[in-house]
C-alpha cells in the first residue's frame, strides 16, 4: 500500500513538475539562447504524463483487484464458519447454551419451579444434529420450559463429572424435586422426550428451595481441577448409634420352648 501511494504521489508530483518546467520552457523560448534542445525537451515532457498516467492506473487497478479478492475470501471464510454451528439455527428465546459449570449451577438454581431441560450434545454427533430441529419446535411449543444446551466438545471434563457418557442425552430438573428424569433419545425415539415433557411441564408449586444438581454432582464438579468451580459440601449430621431395642410390652414374649419359625411368625404379626 505504501509503495502504491508513493508511486501515485510521484505521478501527481510529476504532473506538477511538468507544469513547472512547461512554464520554464516558455521562458527559454523568449531567451535569445536556446541551445537547440527546446523542441526535443518539450516533446519528451508531453509524453511523460501519458506513461506515468498509465503506470499509476495499472498499479491502482492491481491493488483494487487484489483487495476485492481478499475481501471475498474473508467473507466466504466467515460464512463457512457460521454455517458449521447448526445448533444455533432455529434457537428460541427459551434456549440458551451453557458457558461453564458455574453457569449451569446458577441457571438451575435461578429457575425456581420452572421445568429445565438440559440438552447434552456434540457438534460432530449426527443424532444430535438430526434431533435439533425438533428440539427447537418443542421449545417453541413450550415457552415456559427452559432449555439449556451443553456442548460436549467444549465441556468434556464437566460432562465426565456429571456422568454423561452417551449423546444425545437429556436431564429434566424441576424446583425442589431436583432431577426428575434423565435419558437418551434420538429422532426415532422422540416420543420418550414428548412424554417426559408432558409429564413434568404442568404448573405446580414445590415446597422448599430449588434443588438443582445433586450433592454428589456438585462435589464431583468442585473436585475437578480442570473446572473453575468451588463448592462447600453440606454438613451432614452424624447419626447416633442405634440403641439396643427393648422388649415391647404390647407384644407377647415368646416362650423359650417355642421354635424359631413360630417366633418369626409372632414378630411379623406384631408389626
| CATH code, 137 | 3.40.30.10
Question: φ, ψ for residue 240 (rounded to 5)?
Answer: -70, 150
Q: Can you say whether residue 90 is alpha, beta or left, with left for phi > 0 and alpha for psi between -120 and 50 degrees?
A: left
Query: What is the structure's pLDDT at 234?
Result: 83
Given a contact cutoff of 8 angstroms between Cβ atoms, the answer to whether 117 and 148 are in contact is: yes
Residue 30: strand, helix, or coil: helix
Q: Residue 47 falls within a domain, yes or no?
A: no
Catalytic (active site) residue 181: no
Q: Residue 136 falls within a domain, yes or no?
A: yes
**Local structure of residue 92 (DSSP, 8 states):** -
The closest alpha carbon to 145, from 119, 168, 106, belongs to 119
Catalytic (active site) residue 125: yes
Q: Residue 58 falls within a domain, yes or no?
A: no
pLDDT in 10s for each residue of the chain, 271 residues: 444 444 444 444 444 444 444 444 444 444 444 444 444 444 544 544 444 454 555 545 554 565 555 554 545 444 444 456 999 999 999 999 999 999 999 999 999 999 999 999 999 999 999 999 999 999 999 999 999 999 999 999 999 999 999 999 999 999 999 999 999 999 999 999 999 999 998 877 767 889 999 999 999 999 999 999 999 998 777 666 555 665 565 656 555 555 554 444 444 344 4
Residues in Cβ contact with 254 at an 8 Å cutoff, skipping those fewer than 6 apart = 262, 263, 266
Strands (E), the chain: 95-97, 115-121, 146-151, 169-174, 178-184
pTM over the 0.85 mark? no
Query: What is the structure's pLDDT at 203?
Result: 78
Given a contact cutoff of 8 angstroms between Cβ atoms, the answer to whether 119 and 135 are in contact is: yes
Residue 184: strand, helix, or coil: strand
> Furthest-apart CA pair in the chain: how many Å?
159
How many separate domains does the chain show?
1
- H-helix or E-strand spanning residue 77: helix 38-83
The closest alpha carbon to 182, from 200, 160, 206, belongs to 200
The closest alpha carbon to 141, from 92, 188, 107, belongs to 92
Residue 97: strand, helix, or coil: strand
- Terminal Cα-to-Cα distance of the chain (whole angstroms): 96
Q: Residue 72 falls within a domain, yes or no?
A: no
Query: Percent helix, strand, coil in the chain (nearest 5)?
Result: 55, 10, 35
Given 17, 128, 181, 205, which residue is catalytic?
A: 128
Cell of 13: 508530483
Q: Residue 3 falls within a domain, yes or no?
A: no
Q: Residue 107 falls within a domain, yes or no?
A: yes
Q: Residue 86 falls within a domain, yes or no?
A: no
CB environment 16-27: b (16+ within 10 A), e (fewer): eeeeeeeeebee
How far apart, in whole angstroms, are the C-alpha atoms of residue 175 and residue 115?
7
Domain range for 105: 95-223
Given 125, 136, 181, 185, which residue is catalytic?
A: 125
Query: What is the structure's pLDDT at 65?
Result: 61
Given a contact cutoff of 8 angstroms between Cβ atoms, the answer to whether 201 and 141 are in contact is: no
Query: What is the structure's pLDDT at 204?
Result: 73
Q: Residue 257 falls within a domain, yes or no?
A: no
Amino acid at each position: 500500500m505504501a509503495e502504491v501511494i508513493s508511486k501515485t504521489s510521484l505521478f501527481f508530483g510529476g504532473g506538477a513538475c511538468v507544469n513547472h518546467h512547461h512554464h520554464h520552457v516558455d521562458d527559454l523560448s523568449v531567451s535569445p539562447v536556446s541551445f537547440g534542445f527546446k523542441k526535443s525537451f518539450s516533446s519528451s515532457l508531453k509524453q511523460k504524463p501519458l506513461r506515468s498516467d498509465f503506470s499509476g492506473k495499472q498499479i491502482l487497478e492491481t491493488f483494487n483487484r487484489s483487495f476485492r479478492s481478499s475481501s471475498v475470501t474473508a467473507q466466504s471464510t466467515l460464512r463457512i464458519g457460521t454455517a458449521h454451528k447448526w445448533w444455533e439455527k432455529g434457537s428460541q428465546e427459551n434456549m440458551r447454551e451453557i458457558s461453564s459449570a458455574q453457569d449451569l449451577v446458577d441457571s438451575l438454581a435461578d429457575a425456581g419451579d420452572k421445568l429445565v431441560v438440559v440438552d447434552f450434545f456434540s457438534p460432530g454427533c449426527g443424532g444430535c444434529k438430526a434431533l435439533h430441529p425438533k428440539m427447537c419446535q418443542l421449545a417453541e411449543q413450550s415457552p415456559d420450559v427452559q432449555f439449556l444446551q451443553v456442548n460436549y466438545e467444549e465441556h468434556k471434563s464437566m460432562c465426565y463429572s456429571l456422568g454423561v457418557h452417551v449423546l444425545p442425552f437429556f436431564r429434566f430438573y424441576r424446583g425442589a424435586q431436583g432431577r426428575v428424569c434423565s435419558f437418551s433419545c434420538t429422532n426415532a425415539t422422540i416420543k420418550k422426550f414428548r412424554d417426559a415433557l408432558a409429564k413434568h411441564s404442568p404448573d405446580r408449586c414445590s415446597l422448599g428451595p430449588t434443588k438443582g444438581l445433586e450433592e454428589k454432582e456438585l462435589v464431583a464438579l468442585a473436585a475437578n481441577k480442570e473446572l473453575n468451580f468451588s463448592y462447600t459440601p453440606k454438613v451432614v449430621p452424624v447419626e447416633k448409634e442405634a440403641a439396643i431395642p427393648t422388649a415391647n410390652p404390647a407384644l407377647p414374649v415368646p416362650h423359650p420352648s417355642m421354635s424359631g419359625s413360630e417366633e418369626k411368625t409372632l414378630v411379623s404379626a406384631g408389626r
